[in-house]
Structure 1
């Protein structure tokens, strides 16, 4: 089977990283096309030997990109087109149909009740989405929560398949050497208690809650923020105003690979090793990938919303605790963990449910179903 993955861009977001991980584990011949900007994930895919095409879309209404994408699909001889993220789903489904490909699968990575990919939903966005969804044969929801939202939008249950995001569990296994190296790189004392946050610096992540909580905690507690985005200046200003600027490290956007030859800064697995707890205060998440990565690294995790955990048996991840509220509630729990000191860094067995190999197998089942002409759609949630 020859598959073309179409994605809006190839920066360093969760969907982009997930696409690279999937391509490495799917037993099919995969190419990737990015509508708009290329970036670090494009470079990583090419380093993996994946063919990456740049469609060169200049703006959301650049209809010339539709023609270029259609020609790429037609000339590539693809058996199936798999789209990722809103804009790529709109253009990719139409282009695939124009090119004569009927086996079309879309993954909905970032749908919440009132937002889509961090932007507020409106009738126009929803209308375009549901209209083009009919052109495909299957829509993949990354969690039962997303599947329920799609049904509420009117997507037929028979076209919805729940396949969670996957993680390379072994990559995140705790390593004492990586912990020391990462702490040394960012001048974090070995005896500091490090609270970590991983994700895009956007309002929906609520990372300001962690800075406010930090101001209520003793000086040995530090905050390590991994990610970049529009809110960085606001968060830095808040840390300065609360007098904790020296206790907050903004690591910026980091790769998932530790490659000192290409970049001396530690990658995400090393930064997770450097932390003592991961905090995720976002109130709206599609999946909660950072929470899973923290658990895979053996960290205690505090979260407000993480649909990924609702799909696990109750009590199977005792190191994860839901926090309802804001800075005061997070500060209270962080103070308790600080007093308890570092714990065991073993990965909970339940995290194996999200191993990338297992998720790739489930996606292959969706591909097989989508490739059957005039099939009776049954869904598999």
Structure 2
């Protein structure tokens, strides 16, 4: 089977890094088209031996990109097209149909209750999405929560398949030597209790809550923010105003797998943490939280379908926190008082192993190519 993956961009982001991890495990001959922004993940894919084509799309309304995409699909002789992220789903589904490919799968990575990929869910956004969705064979939701949102939007239930994001458990497995080396490289004092946050530094992630919570905690508490984005300047200013600027570390964007870039990678940074916190109120999956669980960290979160969709007995190590800085400061203090647990992957993290996710996706691919009906198996443990 030959498959073409079409994605809006290949900067450092959850969907982009998930695509790279997926291609490392899929038993399929795959190429990738990025409509725009061939960033660090494109370089990583190239290092993995994956052919990446940059379409050079100028914007959402660059209709000239459509015939270029059709030509790429026709030239590749693909059996299946798999699209990722909103713009790529809209253009990719249509281009695949025009090019004569009937097996078209789309993954919905970032659908929230009020936004998708940071864009507000207007009537027009929804209408265009639903119109293009009819051109595909199946729409993959990364969690049952996203599947429910798609059904409420009007996507027919038989067209929805649940295939959770996957985690490379071996890469995120805790390593004490890696932890100590990374903490020294970051300049963390011995005995520092490190609270970590991972994600794009945008307003919706609410990392300012963690900065303000830090000001309510003893001075041996530090905050490690992993990611880049437009709110970094604001977060630095907030840390300065709160008197904790010297205890907040910004790493910038870090790839989830090695790509030759300087500095520690994401698993090393996770190993350096003592607790992971995600105050974002609206997530489609919560991959960073699952990766933290894979590293054996206690996790505090405001929204994480990957955890909430599991039965209570599978959520050990994770706790939902409602509220602002005071609530997170209390929860962090309580977690520290409880003491460190074993740094081993919990049941939730094992449930989302990448091998399990790729096996499910292959079932979806086979059904799309053969035209056979397929229902994904239960996502329970």
Aligned to 1:279: 277
Q: Is residue 108–residue 141 contact of structure 2 (8 Å, CA) maintained in 1?
A: yes
Aligned to 1:49: 49
Q: Is residue 157–residue 379 contact of structure 1 (8 Å, CA) maintained in 2?
A: no
**DSSP-derived class of the 2:313 partner:** coil
Shift of 1:284: 0.2
Distance (Å, rounded) in 1 between the aligned partners of 2:340 and 2:347: 20
Q: Is residue 4–residue 73 contact of structure 2 (8 Å, CA) maintained in 1?
A: yes
Distance (Å, rounded) in 2 between the aligned partners of 1:350 and 1:285: 17
Shift of 1:9: 0.5
Shift of 1:378: 5.2
- Residues 189, 258 of structure 1: alpha-carbon distance in 2 compared, 3 angstrom cutoff: farther
CA deviation string 1:208-241 (max 9, x = no partner): 1001100000000000000000111111110000
Q: Which moved more, 1:310-319 or 1:23-32?
A: 310-319
Aligned to 2:356: 358
Aligned to 1:251: 251
Aligned to 2:155: 155
Matches within 5 A, 1:140-289: 140-258=140-258, 262-289=260-287
After superposing on structure 2, the runs of 4+ consecutive aligned residues of structure 1 that deviate more than 4 Å are 375-381
Matches within 5 A, 1:1-381: 1-258=1-258, 262-373=260-371, 375-376=372-373
Shift of 1:340: 3.6
CA deviation string 1:126-159 (max 9, x = no partner): 0100000000010000001110111111111110
Distance (Å, rounded) in 2 between the aligned partners of 1:376 and 1:331: 49
Shift of 1:258: 4.8
Q: Is residue 213–residue 329 contact of structure 2 (8 Å, CA) maintained in 1?
A: yes
Considering only aligned residues, what root-mean-square deviation do their CA atoms show, in Å?
A: 1.3
**DSSP-derived class of the 2:88 partner:** helix
**DSSP-derived class of the 1:146 partner:** helix
Q: Is residue 145–residue 309 contact of structure 2 (8 Å, CA) maintained in 1?
A: no
**TM-score, normalised with respect to structure 2:** 0.97
Distance (Å, rounded) in 1 between the aligned partners of 2:28 and 2:139: 19
Q: Is residue 141–residue 162 contact of structure 1 (8 Å, CA) maintained in 2?
A: yes
Q: Is residue 290–residue 348 contact of structure 2 (8 Å, CA) maintained in 1?
A: no
Distance (Å, rounded) in 1 between the aligned partners of 2:248 and 2:38: 30
Distance (Å, rounded) in 2 between the aligned partners of 1:378 and 1:275: 39
Shift of 1:184: 1.1
Shift of 1:379: 6.2
**DSSP-derived class of the 2:312 partner:** coil
Unaligned runs of 5+ in 1: none
**DSSP-derived class of the 1:151 partner:** helix
CA deviation string 1:236-272 (max 9, x = no partner): 110000110000001110122357xx33311110000
- Residues 377, 268 of structure 1: alpha-carbon distance in 2 compared, 3 angstrom cutoff: closer
- Residues 263, 341 of structure 1: alpha-carbon distance in 2 compared, 3 angstrom cutoff: same
Shift of 1:377: 6.3
Count of equivalent residues: 378
**TM-score, normalised with respect to structure 1:** 0.97
CA deviation string 1:24-60 (max 9, x = no partner): 1111100000001101110111111101111110111
**DSSP-derived class of the 2:370 partner:** coil
Distance (Å, rounded) in 2 between the aligned partners of 1:248 and 1:309: 27
Distance (Å, rounded) in 1 between the aligned partners of 2:319 and 2:331: 9
- Residues 364, 237 of structure 1: alpha-carbon distance in 2 compared, 3 angstrom cutoff: same
